[in-house]
Chains A and B, each alone.
Chain A
Amino acid sequence: DAGVIQSPRHEVTEMGQEVTLRCKPISGHNSLFWYRQTMMRGLELLIYFNNNVPIDDSGMPEDRFSAKMPNASFSTLKIQPSEPRDSAVYFCASSFKWQGATNTEAFFGQGTRLTVV
């Protein structure tokens, strides 16, 4: 398996533009996480899905952020409109969770480095 695949690896955009980050989880995994990493705030969990359903989106900063998982092999994180303070590295991770019990470890993608100017 190629692991968790994120695209693009780097994105530079102007303030006010829409940005879409993409993630392909590991085949067979049923949990998907979006994290944001900054120097100031470290790793923040934005949202996670289980079986394509958003379980907890309490970490999503504001309404400008939205995430979807239309099927088990694809997820997007959208920022509209983008602002300079959104500049960060965004990671996607996936894992497999058995019903009500054990998690496997999460596997991370390489991240998308977003710069909003």
Chain B
Amino acid sequence: AQSVAQPEDQVNVAEGNPLTVKCTYSVSGNPYLFWYVQYPNRGLQFLLKYITGDNLVKGSYGFEAEFNKSQTSFHLKKPSALVSDSALYFCAVTLGDSWGKLQFGAGTQVVVTP
């Protein structure tokens, strides 16, 4: 079985401050990990992914995430948050050797205040 946990329902941060959104996963195999963002009344947009290689991956809009195998984590980070980053963020996992069942976390609402 595979699962994803996003321990924070909401993250509040002031504009210009660093932003971190936490994600931990549980899979019995090699994980492929993804971050998506959802703006109101829109579909999910892909931000970045970890498949293999460098543990630090960079994605869209200045976001990055670090894969930590020992802690089974894949936290999303941005050095300096913008008000426009306010949205719902989802972490997702699939098994590299499976037929692609993509499991999402519950989502974390990010609120960036001016």
Within 8 A of A (CB), among B80-114: 90, 94, 96-97, 99-107
Counting chain B residues whose Cβ lies within 8 A of the other chain, the interface size class is 20 to 34
Interface size on A, residues (CB 8 A): 26
Interface string of B66-90 (1 = CB under 8 A from A): 0000000000000000000000001
Q: Which A residues touch B43, using CB under 8 A?
A: 4, 91, 108-111
CA distance A102 to B96 in the complex (A): 6
Q: Which B residues touch A55, using CB under 8 A?
A: 99-101
Q: Are A107 and B97 in contact (CB under 8 A)?
A: no
Q: Are B104 and A42 in contact (CB under 8 A)?
A: yes
CA distance A33 to B111 in the complex (A): 29
Q: Which A residues touch B101, using CB under 8 A?
A: 45, 48, 55-56
Interface string of A37-68 (1 = CB under 8 A from B): 00000110100101000011000000000000
Q: Does A105 contact B (CB under 8 A)?
A: yes
Interface string of A53-86 (1 = CB under 8 A from B): 0011000000000000000000000000000000
Q: Which of A31, A45, A100, A108 contacts B97 (CB 8 A)?
A: A100
Q: Does A2 contact B (CB under 8 A)?
A: no
Q: Are B94 and A108 in contact (CB under 8 A)?
A: no
Q: Are B46 and A107 in contact (CB under 8 A)?
A: yes
CA distance A95 to B32 in the complex (A): 14
Q: Are A43 and B90 in contact (CB under 8 A)?
A: yes
Interface string of A82-98 (1 = CB under 8 A from B): 00000000010101010
CA distance A103 to B46 in the complex (A): 13
Name A100's closest neighbour in chain B (CB-CB): B97
